[in-house]
Chain A
Amino acid sequence: AQKVTQAQTEISVVEKEDVTLDCVYETRDTTYYLFWYKQPPSGELVFLIRRNSFDEQNEISGRYSWNFQKSTSSFNFTITASQVVDSAVYFCALSEALSSARQLTFGSGTQLTVLP
């Protein structure tokens, strides 16, 4: 069965510091999709990024970057020059292609607090 582990429960950084959120996943499927979602205090989950299992190219989008490594089953997320508005809970999630429902399996989340 699929599983997503986010070992970091809480992280605090001072504004402008870089921060990396870790995600490790387990799946027996060879084709799968990985996601990061952000849940600010308002509660609504906001989609950030999706990666396919066959595309290990890492990506940078503004202050966000993602490091996908199949060899270690990791999909880490880095925020560069953090800002107070980045404070939120961040969830890593997995969807298996073999699952007809394509439901998301989430990690337990990492609470990021950016201090001014």
Chain B
Amino acid sequence: DTGVSQNPRHKITKRGQNVTFRCDPISEHNRLYWYRQTLGQGPEFLTYFQNEAQLEKSRLLSDRFSAERPKGSFSTLEIQRTEQGDSAMYLCASTPVSGTYEQYFGPGTRLTVT
């Protein structure tokens, strides 16, 4: 399977704990995106990488959130001191730099903060 993969698929954590999610994009896709989707809503953009450089961050990305993409391959999204409002599906997508703009999504990580 050469699609976007995300781990873990589900994460339950207690308020105040730190969590980290991983995304492995499609091989050779330079652009990588993180989105957040809450129940009944469409995904909302969080941040974007081109290769290893984080080039844009949404205002939704508070100081408790940090994302990395070392070596321009996989990416991690960390949430520190989780809050109940962080409960959501976290989606990763990738696309090549050149090309046709459509993004290919992974299955997501569902976070529940209790």
Contact = CB atoms under 8 A, between A and B. Distances in A.
Contact of A45 (B40, B43, B55, B101): B43
A3 to B, nearest CB: 11
Given A43-B89, A43-B108, A44-B108, A104 B41 contact: no
A64 interface: no
Interface of A: 4, 33, 35, 37, 42-47, 50, 91, 93, 95, 100-109
Given A43-B108, A44-B108, A45-B91, A103 B101 contact: no
Contacts, number: 61
B107 A103 contact: no
B31 interface: yes
Given A93-B42, A108-B40, A102 B31 contact: yes
B33 interface: yes
B41 A103 contact: no
Given A43-B89, A108-B40, A109-B41, A100 B56 contact: yes
Interface of B: 31, 33, 35, 40-45, 48, 55-56, 89, 91, 93, 95, 100-108, 110
12 contacts: A43-B89, A44-B106, A47-B102, A47-B105, A50-B100, A100-B55, A102-B95, A103-B33, A104-B93, A107-B42, A108-B40, A109-B41
